[in-house]
Chain A
């Protein structure tokens, strides 16, 4: 009897050891186009590196049981807040990198999971302040006053941006939108006083059902909207400074390889490294705004980034 019990315990231990994984695990809440693009790009990046020894596993969130597989992974990349929340519950020895997650949500999960910067980090959604300010000035060189609607979600970033912009001679006026029904009036007031509207990621303000109103009102005022996503720009904003899933996957792959090679703690949360620029030429024509070529703007931004990094 004793022997039998010992054998069972050893078998269970062996089983756990057998389940342990040493590669990178990507956890996604669902197979969206963006997530799949991320995975595909991530694989491409790994394959492109001759020194890579990392294996890759991709887990879809509803298969909760398999999340155990992620335990002891070299790195768990959580795509989205929901995936992050699940991944955060893994052993603290398993580092977790958050992608596609708003900063506020990241902060809340981090706090809740009692992890620290050593085993949990993120690639932020917001572009670096300097790049954002530079982008505004490159697209609308004549603009002096930029307005932006903000809420609790984006307030910290916005205020930092405003501070940084001031230094660059650009006035950013922030209007807090607490009551959604006041969107149009507040927007009108803001547009009347500024040269353009800067949209920054904030799900409380910039969401699908308000997009039409914001775009139409700004168009009514003949004021352009500068935004943070390709979709927004295609929907009617003048120009977008954005990082796609592939950009983020490339950055995440770099982090994974760096963390493998260095065997050190995860880097601190960082802004998107790679980005793109898109100008909606139709909107530019309608608003009668002369905008430099996308490539030129992009190169200018790269150049400025490199200069700052140096």
Chain B
């Protein structure tokens, strides 16, 4: 009922009362007429029986069956619906019958119960007694006592019974026909009333349906829908109201649509552009790159893709904070953007990486553009908080042609070219060429770490060690440590074993490993295996084991909160004396992760570990930060050491570093001691330890254990 339309409701309204009335009327008529018909059947049966009874009197008295048979047959022939006429005497003997005989059991039942009528499924049996009738034959009968007595006690003598069975089938058929006719008339009446309701209701339904249609149109989004205000009264109010609402809705919709369009444009812009610099972002850039790749393949067009990576950006970010780094990126973006041609696409791909898509551009033009960019960047001075930074840009250039199958291949190639440019000394442009040595190396480096996962297999890496040799006989005592006999100090070095069993140096795979955040896992592997090795030494001869293992920790590991618990767990697991372990951290890594480094240093020093600051001097403000770190060793950057015997500045640098360290009671270690001349200079300065090919080649940890075992047989 809730889902039907107005037209159906009006028809419903017009027909239901008529239907109810028809049902009541038909019910009443049928009930009455059926009652009358039933009664008339009963009356008729009774009349036939009671009329036949006296007619059969003489036949019964005289026993004249022939006469009775004629009587019943005549009755059966003349009366419609009469099924049976039967005459029995008062003994129950059937004297005559016509039609279907009534079973004796039924007769005896009717006689016993003295039933005037007995209803059956298909008819009614009526019975009437046959009495001996009295005829007045004496004129003075009342004077005769016998006669008087006879009349007084008159109870007609029953001499027999007549049974009449009247079929109700005819009546039933008549009833059925009657019901069908009545129902037909009622149905016709209903249809008529429905039609009338529809005709009359159309004046109401039509305007409402128009309104409903208009509402549906509005629901479908056609807001310009209006109605002709041709009705009166409430309907006109509805029409006017609808038109008014429709107009308001359209206005609101238009305003909303404008807002949506604006918001969509903004979202689209945000989806395609970098928030910080306003340049195209990586997603949109890749879309355009894809398009270019397609035209290159289909139209043999030439495009150039340049992968730009700022040099020294990390330094700005680390030293002056992210805000300074972000500001730098913005300024660089503006600098680059204003140099772009109309068809060029400059995008920020992430961090300090930019992409430059030069469509329909020759390599020569691209070279010129790259040179211009490098010049602009090199000439650019970025100042922040009274600090002035010089930055550069390394560019990997790729000519997009049909050799590339996908955008990722193009990006990968440019990335590799860019890394090759960085490796070649930064602020350079390297054109990707699949056969170039730099590119191949870079490719190898990436491939070298391809098999490193979270769970590092033991056969993927090997541990080497290189002796750190005392250069002066009287070494100062280590802080917090008693003077002990000469200790064997080794730096643990890491080598990767590739699938062919070839040894790969860390310089090849470490940058890639750092880039892909694999260093924390590698560091853990090194710690664990160095501890295992040391355990073996202890197990061989605990008494004489006076080794110190220096283990390098990468900058990314310093930011790992779970590293300290891991180291403690390893100490507990292998029962290594903490004083036997020295952790080396590069100066740059320590500065970048200053807070974490200090926390780690403090925690590990509590249990007795040593620390060394590696590659000291390479950073810009080395001395300034030195006071922040409580270290045992300073490892002077090899860049100052390897030409110390030829370069006075390097000599001065080493000497000053050593002097500062000594004044802080920190022992110095010189790396890259590759010749006797270098050694002598170091000894003159007084550097405490030396490490290099001249002092001892790296050997495998396994060999070290073996040598120790040989020296200390059980």
Task: Write the residues of chain A forming the contact surface with B, with a CB cutoff of 8 angstroms.
Answer: 29-30, 32-35, 79-82, 100-102, 184, 199, 201, 203, 206-209, 211-213, 215-217, 220, 227, 229-232, 235-236, 242, 244-245
B23-62 residues with Cβ-Cβ distance < 8 A to A are 57-58, 61-62
Contact A184 B150 (CB under 8 A): no
Measured CA separation A207–B62 after assembly (Å) = 17
Q: Is B78 an interface residue (CB 8 A)?
A: no
In the assembled complex, the CB of B101 is this many whole angstroms from the nearest CB of chain A, namely 27
Q: Can you list 22 contacts pairing A with B, beta carbon distance less than 8 Å?
A: A29-B143, A34-B139, A34-B140, A34-B143, A35-B142, A35-B143, A79-B143, A100-B140, A206-B137, A206-B138, A208-B135, A208-B136, A212-B133, A213-B62, A216-B62, A229-B138, A229-B139, A231-B138, A231-B139, A231-B141, A232-B138, A245-B140
On whether the beta carbons of B135 and A212 are closer than 8 Å, the reply is yes
User: Across the interface, do A81 and B134 meet the contact criterion of CB distance under 8 Å?
Assistant: no
Are A232 and B137 in contact, with the CB atoms below 8 A?
yes
Q: Within the complex, what minimum Cβ distance (angstroms) separates A72 from chain B? A: 26
Residue of B nearest to A235 (CB): B135
Point out the residues of chain A lying under 8 angstroms from B136, CB to CB: 208, 211, 231, 235
B132 at the binding interface (Cβ < 8 Å): yes
Residues on A with beta carbons closer than 8 Å to the beta carbon of B151: 208
Chain A's closest residue to B62 (CB) is: A184
- The CA-CA distance from A204 to B157 in the complex, in Å, is 17
Q: Are A245 and B139 in contact (CB under 8 A)?
A: yes
Q: A208-B150, A211-B137, A235-B137 are in contact. Are A102 and B58 (CB under 8 A)?
A: no
Task: Report the minimum CB–CB distance from A306 to chain B (whole Å).
Answer: 25
Cβ-defined contact, A242 with B57, below 8 A:
no
Contact B139 A203 (CB under 8 A): no
Check B143 against A208 for contact (C-beta < 8 Å): no
The answer to whether A203 and B147 touch (CB under 8 A), given A235-B135, A235-B136, is yes
Q: Are B139 and A209 in contact (CB under 8 A)?
A: no
In the complex, what residues of B have CB within 8 A of residue A30's CB?
A: 142
Residues of B within 8 A of A206 (CB): 137-138
Known: A207-B150, A209-B150. A215 touches B135 (CB 8 A): yes
Q: When chains A and B are docked, how far (Å) is the Cα of A101 from the Cα of B147?
A: 13
A-B pairs, 6 with minimum CB distance: A211-B135, A208-B134, A80-B143, A32-B142, A232-B137, A100-B143
* Neighbouring A residues of B500 by C-beta, 8 Å: none
7 further A-B pairs in the complex, CB-CB below 8 A; given A82-B145, A102-B144, A208-B150:
A80-B144, A206-B137, A206-B138, A209-B150, A212-B58, A213-B58, A231-B138
Structural contact, B157 and A209, CB atoms closer than 8 A = yes
Residues in B with CB closer than 8 Å to A217 are: 62
B507 CB within 8 Å of chain A: no
The reply to whether A213 and B61 contact each other, CB–CB distance below 8 Å, is yes
Question: Is B146 among interface residues, defined by CB-CB distance under 8 A?
Answer: yes
Nearest Cβ distance between residue B141 and chain A, in whole angstroms?
Answer: 7
Minimum Cβ distance to chain B for residue A244 (Å):
6
Least distance between B457 CB and chain A CB atoms (Å): 136
The reply to whether A209 and B134 contact each other, CB–CB distance below 8 Å, is yes
Separation in Å of the B709 CB from the closest CB of chain A?
156
* Docked pose: A227 CA to B135 CA in angstroms: 14
Q: Which residue of A lies closest to B144 (CB)?
A: A203
User: Quick one: which of A201, A206, A207 has the most chain B CB within 10 A?
Assistant: A207
**Is B143 touching A203 in the complex (CB atoms < 8 A)?**
no
Chain B residues close to A by CB (< 8 Å)? 57-58, 61-63, 132-147, 150-151, 157
Interface centre among B62, B135, B146 (most CB of A within 10 A): B135
Whether B133 contacts A207 by the Cβ 8 Å rule is: no
Task: Point out the residues of chain B lying under 8 angstroms from A229, CB to CB.
Answer: 137-140
Which residues in B have their C-beta under 8 angstroms from that of A235? 135-137
List chain B residues, Cβ under 8 A from A201. 138
Pick from A199, A207, A213: contact of B147, CB under 8 Å: A207
Closest to B135 in A: A211
Cβ-defined contact, A230 with B139, below 8 A: yes
Known A209-B157, A217-B62; contact A203-B146, beta-carbon cutoff 8 A:
yes
**A79 surroundings in chain B (CB, below 8 A):** 143
Q: Which residues of A contact B139 (CB under 8 A)?
A: 34, 229-231, 242, 244-245
Expressed in whole angstroms, the minimum distance between the Cβ of B269 and any Cβ of chain A is 127
Bound Cα distance from A213 to B134, whole angstroms: 10
Residues of B within 8 A of A211 (CB): 134-137
| Contact, CB under 8 Å: A216 / B135 | no
Question: What is the bound-complex CA distance between A212 and B56, given in angstroms?
Answer: 12
Query: What is the chain A residue whose CB lies nearest that of B57?
Result: A212
**Which chain A residue shows the least CB distance to B134?**
A208
A208 to B151, CA, bound (A): 9
Nearest B residue to A219 via CB reads: B58
Complex alpha-carbon distance, A206 and B150, angstroms: 13
Residues of chain B within 8 A of A212, CB atoms compared: 57-58, 61, 132-135
With A231-B138, A242-B139 as contacts: A209 and B132 at CB distance below 8 Å: yes
Q: Which B residues touch A213, using CB under 8 A?
A: 58, 61-62
Q: How far is the CA of A29 from the CA of B61 in the complex (A)?
A: 35
CA distance A81 to B157 in the complex (A): 27
> CB-CB < 8 A to A230: which residues of B?
139
Q: Closest chain B residue to A229 by CB distance?
A: B139
- A216/B150 in contact, CB under 8 A: no
Residues of B within 8 A of A215 (CB): 135
CA distance A199 to B65 in the complex (A): 28
- B137 partner residues in chain A, CB cutoff 8 A: 199, 206-208, 211, 227, 229, 231-232, 235
Most buried by A among B143, B144, B151: B143
CA distance A33 to B139 in the complex (A): 10
Name the A residues within 8 Å of B143 (CB-CB): 29, 32, 34-35, 79-81, 100-101
Q: Which residues from chain B contact A101 at a C-beta distance below 8 Å? A: 143
List the B side residues contacting A82 at CB < 8 Å: 145
Question: How distant is A207 from chain B, measured CB to nearest CB, in Å?
Answer: 7
The docked-state distance in angstroms from the alpha carbon of A53 to that of B140 is 29
Give, as a whole number of angstroms, the nearest-CB distance from A97 to chain B: 14
Which residues of the other chain, B, contact A231 by a CB distance below 8 angstroms?
A: 136-139, 141
By a CB distance below 8 angstroms, the chain A residues around B142 are 30, 32-35
- Nearest residue, chain A, Cβ from B138: A229
Q: Which residue of A lies closest to B64 (CB)?
A: A220
**How far is B141's CA from A220's CA once the two chains are assembled, in angstroms?**
27
Docked pose: A16 CA to B650 CA in angstroms: 200
Complex CA gap A32/B150 in Å reads: 16
B58 nearest in chain A by CB position: A216
For B157, list chain A residues within 8 Å (CB).
209
A104 CB to closest chain B CB, in angstroms? 12
Chain A CB count within 10 A is highest, among B132, B137, B144, for B137
- What are the residues of chain A within 8 A of B146 when measuring CB–CB? 203, 207
Q: Which residues of A contact B141 (CB under 8 A)?
A: 208, 231
Question: What B residues does A232 contact at CB under 8 A?
Answer: 137-138
| Complex-state Cα separation, A102 to B145, whole angstroms | 11
What is the distance, in angstroms, from B97's C-beta to the closest C-beta of chain A?
22
What's the least CB distance linking A32 to chain B, in Å?
4
- Chain A residue contacts of B135, Cβ below 8 A: 208, 211-212, 215, 235-236
In the complex the two chains form, what is the Cα distance from A212 to B145 in whole Å?
Answer: 21
Give CA–CA (A84, B330) in the complex, Å.
163
> A30 to B147, alpha carbons, bound, how many Å?
14
A153 to B140, CA, bound (A): 17
The distance from the CB of B505 to the nearest CB of chain A, in whole angstroms, is 153
Q: Is the CB of A184 within 8 A of B61?
A: yes
Query: How far is B139's CA from A29's CA once the two chains are assembled, in angstroms?
Result: 16
Chain A: which residue is nearest B59 at the CB level? A216
Complex CA–CA separation, A108 to B57 (angstroms): 37
Nearest residue (CB) in B for A225 is B137
A32 vs B57: C-alpha distance in the bound complex, in angstroms? 30
CA gap between A300 and B57 in the complex, in Å:
40
CB distance from A258 to the nearest CB of B (A): 24
Residue of B nearest to A232 (CB): B137
Task: Please name all residues of chain B whose beta carbon is closer than 8 Å to the beta carbon of A35 when the two chains form the complex.
Answer: 142-143
Q: Which residue of B lies closest to A31 (CB)?
A: B142
Partner of B145, one of A81, A207, A209: A81
**Nearest chain B residue, comparing its CB with the CB of A183:** B61
Contacts of B150 in A (CB 8 A): 207-209
CB nearest neighbor in B for A213: B61
